[in-house]
Every structure is written in C-alpha cells, then in structure tokens.
Chain A
Amino acid sequence: MTLGFYPGCSLKGSSREYAESVLAVAEAFDIHLEEIKDWNCCGATAAHNMNKELSLALPARILSLAEKQGLTELVVPCAACYSRLTVTKHELSENPALKAVVTEANDLAYTGSVNVLNIVQMLDKYIIPNLEGKVVKPFDHKVACYYGCLLVRPHEILKFDREEDPQSMDALMLKAGATPIDWAFKTECCGAGLSVSRTSSVGRLSGKIMGDAKDRGAEAIIVACPMCHSNLDMRRDAINSYLGEKVDIPVLYITQAIGLAIGLDRKTLGLQRHFVKVSV
C-alpha cells in the first residue's frame, strides 16, 4: 500500500531519526510512503507570526503538489506541519475569498481534497490493526506520552482526540507493551518556536514537563513532534539547570518506541542521534 508523505524540514535535518523511524516502521508493515515531489517548507511558526497570507500560501502549495501527484492521503509526522496544513485546509474551505488570493499567489490548482493524517492517526489506522502478532520485544516501560500543543489544539479545527488529558498515544503505547502513566503535563507547551531565540523560556517550560514526568516515575517520554523532541532532548542542559538536578530520562518518537517493540534495530531507528542516551 502507498500513502503520501510530507516529511517537512526538521525530518530532513535535526530530526532525521524521526523520518528514519517512520519509514522503517511503515516498511515493516508493507506501507510505501511516497514523498511529495519538490515540496517546500510549511512556513511553521515564523510565517503565521509575520504574514498571514504567506502562512496559508506555503502549505497550500504543498497540498496542491500532493493533489497533482494523485495522493489522497498524506502522512505528516511533524505536529507543527500537520497543524499548519490542517489549519490551511480549514481556513481555505471556510473562506473562499482567501482561497482565491492564496491559490492565485501559488499559481497551482487547489481543491482541498487531500486527507491529512498525523502520525498517531496513521499508526492507529494502518499499523495498530496488524501490530499484535508483530510485537517481539514489548516496550515494557513506564512511559509519559507527551502530546504538546499542535497535535490536539485547536480542537475546533483539528478534531483529533480531546484537548485535555488526550488518550490516543497512550492507547497506542499500551498496545506496544508499555505502561502509560497518568500525568499532568501532556498538553502543556514545551516552548517550541522560542528554542533558539529565548532558550531560557524553553528551559522553564520544558523543565516543568520533565519534572512532572520524573516525579511520576516515567522511564521514557514519548513524543510525536520534532520540536517537542528537540526541546526535551537537545535542550536538556537548560532543563537540568532549571530543575537543579540531572535528569536522564530519554525522549523517544512514538515510531521509535513501536519500532523497538517490533524488533527493528536501534540504528535503523536513529536512536544514536539523540543527545540524551536512550537507555531503555
């Protein structure tokens, strides 16, 4: 089976292990992820902070290219890209005038027919039904599933899981043999776009998240967003200095955890690329 695939910039660079694990898990289930040809950046936080039209035109180009390529379902592992693509689809369907402006800027046909899936939806729809027989090494750890902001909010537009105490990742991890813990910071913000420009804020916000996970005995944090990952993993020094102690809980993409459970090797899943050693 073939599904459309939009990796986004992070997955080609600082979060390439996310792409590696997504592709490896898909392959293990005979799913071919077909990358959109000549895709561009979605514009991320910068675009919608600075220029509304740009923030819609960039994702619209991506969706148009997917349409052109004949893709009906598009897997978007990065939560930020997923959010931008979904918001764009919503805004353009609600506002025909805006759609005209944006498609004019793009010079590409756009109908809004592509179905955008985040990684949890993709796993739930295509992997989980066949997972049971494939688990060879259950991910037998206490895990804190961390959803962040952009996977679940705003619910009015994304219509995915629930905004408070979401459960979809917990349910997946349970099936992979993990014990998801009940904790309080599932959807608190990690600091995301301020990672470089205001690292101290990220230390505080991600520190609170890490602190609660630690207090409740999490052995790993499971994420589905490259920004959440880079803040919780690469910014661990800032986190530790906020917490005043050294916390070495590893942060895994959900596809890495599932990959381990089905016996894929650590290197294929890119675990060696993490800043905080993946000891689980």
Chain B
Amino acid sequence: MSKIGVFVCHCGENISSTVDCEKVAATVGKYDGVAFSVDYKYMCSDPGQSIIKNAIAEKGLTGVVVAACSPRMHEPTFRKVCAEAGLNPYMCEMANLREHCSWVHEKGEATTEKAIDLVRILVEKVKYNQSLNSIKVPVTKTALVIGGGIAGIQASLDIANTGHKVILIEKDPSIGGHMSQLSETFPTLDCSQCILTPRMVEVAQHPNITLYTYAELESLEGFIGNFKAKIRKKSKSLDEKLCTGCGLCTTKCPTKKIPSEFNEGLGNRTAIYVPFPQAVPNKPVIDRIHCTYYTKGKCKICEKVCPTGAIRFDQEDQIVEVEVGAIVVATGFAVKRPDFFPEYGYGKYADVITGLQFERLASASGPTLGEIRRPSDGKIPEKIVFLACAGSRDPAKGIPYCSKICCMYIAKHAMLYQHKVHSGKSYVFYMDIRAGGKMYEEFVRRAIEDDGVNYIRGRVSKIYEKNGKLIVSGVDTLLNAMPVEIEADMVVLATAGVANEGAEELAQKLHISYDPYKFFAEAHPKLKPVETNTGGIFLAGSCQAPRDIPESVAMASGAAVKVAGLFSQDELTREPIIAVVNRQAAPVYSSCVGCFLCVSACPYQAIEKEEIKNRTGDLIKSIAKVNPGLCQGCGTCVAFCRTKSIDIQGYTHEQMYSEVMALLNEY
C-alpha cells in the first residue's frame, strides 16, 4: 500500500492568490494512498524542506508529490530533499500549480478544482514510480569556444588557465571581433586595441588553446560532457606552416579596391589580405570572390612573389572532427545597416555614417589615422550630428528593444570629436539617456558639461542634402517641440545592434533556443544568464543580447567558470529518464519482436541490436537494446514500438495510463 505525502506550496502569493491551497491539501489528503497532506507558504525554503523531510521519516512515506512551481525550477531541489530523507529521489513528482494553473487562470472555484486535478493525477502516477539510479557518463575535458571576439577570447583564456584544453574557432581571418575595430572605450577612454591585442597574442601563444580562424561549426552531435563537433576550416588558399607573414603578397596583389570589412567600407583592402596589421594570426587569406585568379583564371602574382611558396590555389575546405565536453557560444552581434532609414539618407549621402564607421574614423589604426575626416571629401566636419536610436526602440522598423550600448558610445563619439576638433560643434539627438553603469552617468555629464556637446531631446524626422550641407530636421521636445534645423557636415547614426546573420541556423545546429530577435536564449533571465537550455552549452557576450565590453567579459568569465565546474568532475550524473526495452524470463526473453523500427526512428543512434543466444551459442532471438549513454529520453522509439516493448523510465505506459485514468474517473 502506497503512503504518499502531498506538499502544496503557496509560492508566496503566486499560487495562493488564485488557488485555495488549503482546500487543495485538504481534498487531496482524503484520497486513497495519501498518508499526509499539508500546505505551506514557501515549500522550497529551509522550513518547507524540513516539513517534507520530517514527514518522510515520521510517516514512512513511499512517494512524494510537491504541488508548486514548474519542475524546471525546483524538481532538483525537492528530489534532493527526498534523497536526504532516505527516499529514492525518483519517488518524488511535482505538480505545476503555478505556470499551469495559478498564473494562467483567474481566482475561482474552477481554478482550485483544476489544481486538485493536477495533484491527483500525480498522486496516481507516483503510485507506480520505481526507484531509479542516476546514470554516470564520462566527461571530455576539452571546451569548444565559438567566436573570437572579446567574449570568446576571455572565455578561452579563463578556461585554458584552469588547465583545460580549449578549441577556439573564429569565422573571420583574425580574432578580435568588433572590439578590435573600436577606437577608445567608455567610460575611461582607454584605447581598445591597446587592451585587446595583448589578449589576442596570449590566445595564440597559450599552450592549452588550439585556434582555428576562418573556421565555422559544421555540425554538432552528442550531449553534455560528450559532444562531437565537425568544424569546417575554410580554405585560406595558403599553407600556414610555410607562410611567414612577411606581407609581400598583400602589397603586390593587383586587386586593391575591395571595401575593407575591418574599416566598415571606409577603406580598401586587397584580394589576398590580412584584415588589420595587428591581426592574429598575422597571415593572409585569399578572398576567392574578388581574387582575379579565381574569377578570371589568371594572375597568381601572390604565388610568384611569395618567398616561401606558401600559396595554395587548389586548397580545399577541411572538415576537422573534435570531441568536446562543453561549448561556449560567443558569436557576437551585427550592426543593423540603416538602409531601412531612407528618411536619413544612409547609402545615399556619403557623410551619413554608422557609429561603427565613426569608430574607424576615430581610431588610430583607421583609414584617416584617427583624424575625424568626412568620407565624401576628406574635410574635417565643423558641425557633426549624432542620432541615437537609429533603429532601436523603433517597432515600426522592426526593432522594439533598446540596443543598450549606443547612449554611451554616442557620448564617447561626441567627446572624441570635441577633443580632436576643438572648434567643432557637436549635437546629439536623443530620446532618453541610458547610462546605468559604473562611472557611466558621470561620463555622459562630462561630455555635456566639460566638452560642450549639445544634447537635444527629440527624434530627427529627415535628413537631406542642400548646398553641400546635410540638413537635419528635428524638434526640441523640451521646448514645446520647437523645430530645430542643423546644417551639418556629417551625421552619425547609432544603428541598432542585431543578431548575426545565420544566428538562427547556428542555434539549430546547437539545439539551443533563441528569442524573437534571434539572440540566443539564456536558461533563466536572472539566475542562469550564461547557461542555455541545453546542458553543457553556455553563452557569452552579445550573441545573447547587445552587451558592452565589461558585460561581455563578465559573462565570458561566468561561462568559463561553468565549464571549469563541469570539468572538475570525472563523471557526470545524468537523469535516468531513458528508454529501456523490457526483459522477461525465458523462453520469451522480451516482448520485443525485433522489427527494429526503433533503430531507424532514434535520432541519437542510441538503439542497437542485441542477440540472445543459448548456452551453445545458437541465436535464439534478436531484440533491441538501448545504450544508456547515448539515449536522450526523447521517447520517439516508444511511439514507434508496435508491441509496447519500450518504456521511458519515469514515464512508463503504466504511469501515463494511471494519470489519464485519474482524470477520467470521477473520484
């Protein structure tokens, strides 16, 4: 006879405001097999846990149902409580009264009735629960970091410094990411390259880090601790071992007018190129789309001038297979091209540029060597206008969210401009100044008070060119929406930070989820900011949402700790929620008839054939067998099995039927 304990949680007021928890406990307490039933304000708290432990000991409970929040939130908590009290943790079930009931219904009888039903079906289920033991799997102590921007660099270094191996892949020819493009950084104005490039070198030289640049993830299989990744190393048309990075090829390449990605199109590069002088690795790749040899079949000048004979025109992409135990995704973000702002004339007027382009103008490594000169004629702009929220907070253009970093970088841009062009006038059109962060507000005030940047509250309606000036028409909303028209020499748009192109495909390869904007989704917005819903895969930096450098670095270190924590164990325990093929005594052995539909249905290749032989070694029967290390408990095989020979442990046919019958039978 079962002795089941039911523990109804109020979740503060989350459940009790619409569900009569007392009534739930009292009603369920009368059911067959329920030996104890109680409600309490916070069941997950220390006193709440004690109630469960004491009841298990005093009443000799054989099963526990906790009626509270989602099992995603607290199932591990309550299973641990049971284990500590000597009950097998898998004898504990959770009824989700919060997400499935109180949050989605209004207060009333029917809501309480539904809550009672939800508890009752689990009382019936738990009667059929069996003690299970968790599964041990080994851990491959190598991490894969995807993306070589500041977040990926930080995560790689942190993991590598704990003594574990790291494989870092970067899709571009060099690591460094967006941070390498920046001029100075807020709120301290220290030079971005000066603080970044030493880290890049460290990555290249670290004995625990293997760096693959110009490489992308091709596919991923496996699970936490045991991933198998295929990496596509795109052909660089170069033998990297022979190349000394002398740079002769790049100076002799005749195709010189390709807009430089690193300079955001404000400068040119050659077809064989190193993205920037401080690149890591400092070796070129051939851009096959623009290279004359690949497009027209002749040239090969680089091959002729290369002193070591390192050019390889026939080199093909290479697929490298690696085994890793954890993955850090740090693929960063993209800047939305403001082409969708025809009223601002981006793309039409050369001197309407993006914030990232301004970074290149202000950077010592940029096309103007750090002088603020406008793209159209190289003149130093005497009047410059910065527009905040050019795309962000604009549902009409498809981006309702705040890109978060713009307020700060605009203040920085205006400040840098004022420092470099003393006689210049700068204007910022803004809606709100969002400067939450250490020394951030002070930084913005400095721009306004000390550097004389004119902040105007209002959104610009239109920019057009007239007599060589850009006419910026806006209003000052703090002056009864008084019209403001500025004749500017250059306009900088703070364009929105958006998810990378291809983010969706990558998420699908990794089996991680993403939000409506295609930023990758964290497991919990507050308590699991660097975890994903897939075990062993972590997030760092702007692939999760627009982030500034300090946040990206903090996230990366957080993700690295999660990886190091995972690697601190030799074995992982996994939930025993896996499929099993039933076994019976001879002469039946199993109800499995060996049709092996399940083998083809299994997405994880976890089912194999098992041959049952007699003592003399003659084959009696072939049946299916589940490899517990590979099975993910998805249940596809159960649905395919025509003889009901496969069960998911913890979700057996018997358990499911008992739940359904509990609902169908009037009590």
Direct contact of A and B (CB under 8 A): yes
Confirm or deny: A30 has a beta carbon within 8 angstroms of a beta carbon on chain B: no
**Complex interface: stretch among B7-15, B374-382, B460-468:** B460-468
Q: How far is the CA of A165 from the CA of B344 in the complex (A)?
A: 11
Confirm or deny: A12 has a beta carbon within 8 angstroms of a beta carbon on chain B: no
Interface digits, A210-223 against B, CB 8 Å rule (1 contact, 0 not)? Answer: 00100100000000
Closest to B341 in A: A164
Q: Do the beta carbons of A184 and B464 come within 8 Å of each other?
A: yes
Confirm or deny: B106 has a beta carbon within 8 angstroms of a beta carbon on chain A: no
Q: Do the beta carbons of B466 and A212 come within 8 Å of each other?
A: yes
Q: How far is the CA of A164 from the CA of B342 in the complex (A)?
A: 6
Closest to A183 in B: B464
Q: How far is the CA of A24 from the CA of B466 in the complex (A)?
A: 38
Q: Do the beta carbons of A164 and B467 come within 8 Å of each other?
A: no
Interface centre among A163, A164, A182, A212 (most CB of B within 10 A): A164
Interface digits, A152-163 against B, CB 8 Å rule (1 contact, 0 not)? Answer: 000000000011
Instruction: Categorize the interface residue count of chain A.
Output: under 10
Q: Chain A's nearest CB lies how many Å from the CB of B487?
A: 13
Q: Do the beta carbons of A164 and B466 come within 8 Å of each other?
A: no
Q: Do the beta carbons of B343 and A184 come within 8 Å of each other?
A: no
- From 446 to 503 in chain B, residues with beta carbon under 8 angstroms from any chain A beta carbon are 462, 464-467, 471
Of B342, B466, B471, the contact of A162 (CB 8 Å cutoff): B342
Of B342, B348, B466, the contact of A215 (CB 8 Å cutoff): B466
Q: Do the beta carbons of A184 and B465 come within 8 Å of each other?
A: yes
Interface digits, B329-343 against A, CB 8 Å rule (1 contact, 0 not)? Answer: 000000000000011
Q: How far is the CA of A182 from the CA of B467 in the complex (A)?
A: 13
Interface of A, helix, strand, loop or mixed by DSSP: loop
Q: Chain B's nearest CB lies how many Å from the CB of A126?
A: 29
Closest to A162 in B: B342
A-B interface pairs (CB < 8 A), number: 15
Q: Do the beta carbons of A165 and B467 come within 8 Å of each other?
A: no
Q: How far is the CA of A184 from the CA of B464 in the complex (A)?
A: 6
Interface centre among B343, B348, B464 (most CB of A within 10 A): B464
Interface digits, A178-192 against B, CB 8 Å rule (1 contact, 0 not)? Answer: 000010100000000
Q: How far is the CA of A165 from the CA of B467 in the complex (A)?
A: 19
Q: How far is the CA of A151 from the CA of B319 in the complex (A)?
A: 55
Of A162, A163, A215, the contact of B467 (CB 8 Å cutoff): A215
Q: Chain A's nearest CB lies how many Å from the CB of B210?
A: 49
- From 139 to 174 in chain A, residues with beta carbon under 8 angstroms from any chain B beta carbon are 162-165
Q: Do the beta carbons of B465 and A164 come within 8 Å of each other?
A: no
Q: Do the beta carbons of A165 and B466 come within 8 Å of each other?
A: no
A215 contact set on B, CB distance < 8 A: 466-467
Q: How far is the CA of A164 from the CA of B466 in the complex (A)?
A: 17
A162 contact set on B, CB distance < 8 A: 342
Q: Chain A's nearest CB lies how many Å from the CB of B111?
A: 35
A184 contact set on B, CB distance < 8 A: 462, 464-466, 471
- From 309 to 361 in chain B, residues with beta carbon under 8 angstroms from any chain A beta carbon are 342-343, 348
Other contacts beyond A165-B342, A215-B467: 13, CB < 8 A: A162-B342, A163-B342, A164-B342, A164-B343, A165-B348, A182-B348, A184-B462, A184-B464, A184-B465, A184-B466, A184-B471, A212-B466, A215-B466
Give 6 A-B contacts (CB < 8 Å), ordered by A residue.
A165-B342, A182-B348, A184-B466, A212-B466, A215-B466, A215-B467
Question: Interface residues, chain A, CB within 8 Å of chain B?
Answer: 162-165, 182, 184, 212, 215
The 6 closest A-B pairs by CB, nearest first: A184-B464, A164-B342, A164-B343, A165-B342, A162-B342, A184-B466
